Amino acid sequence: MIIAEQKKKENIIEYIIYLRQIQDLLRSLNFDFVKIKNELVDKYNTDSNTKIRIENWYRNIAKELTDRNLVAVGDIDEIKNTIALLENLHQKLLKDPQEYKHKELYKWAEPNITNFRALSRSQNKSDVEICVDAVYSLFLLRLKKELISEETMQAMQTFINLLTYLARKYHGIE
């Protein structure tokens, strides 16, 4: 919760990736609150009131995942809504005649978005969601210490560049 709040203020893309990590952590712990408390909440070196807030935060995410039958896959509404917000910004920037940089970054990423969309059979996902999915997949591959081809890394870099610029626009930095 503390890290999530900080990431939401500083880098909206890292925030989404972090929330996905939390979802996967909760899934890996089978939503067992004894394990969640021992392995996640108790690791925070903070006062008891803050620990209660952190535990409630994990509980709320776990509850949404289980209540909405997202136990194996899927994202909580916070992730979906944030991606939708970023997709709206992305589309707005593509229509803006002054937005040369975003258009250029999208031009580089677009063929890779199309390829990733086809490979993942995600025809209904937005450009931003495809990029986030790809970057999160890269994160998981790195965690598993899998070999990543140069071609894949080049494609991923186009996603990262586009998302980085989009995040900067979102936060009013660019």
pLDDT digits (tens, 9 = 90+) for 66-88: 999 999 999 999 999 999 999 99
Helix axes 150-170, 12-28, angle to 10 degrees: 120
Quote the domain boundaries for residue 137: 80-170
Q: Which pLDDT tens digit goes with each residue over 112-156?
A: 999 999 988 878 999 999 999 999 999 999 999 999 999 999 999
Name which of 147, 153, 158, 149 is nearest 112 in CA terms.
Answer: 158
Q: What mean pLDDT is predicted for residues 7-34? A: 95
Q: At which residue do the structure tokens 């586009």 appear?
A: 162
Same domain, 143 and 101: yes
Same domain, 63 and 84: no
- The tokens for 32 are 């067992």
Same domain, 165 and 103: yes
* 89 pLDDT more than 90: yes
What is the number of structural domains in the chain?
Answer: 2
The model carries a pTM of 0.92
Strands (E), 29-91: none
Same domain, 59 and 84: no
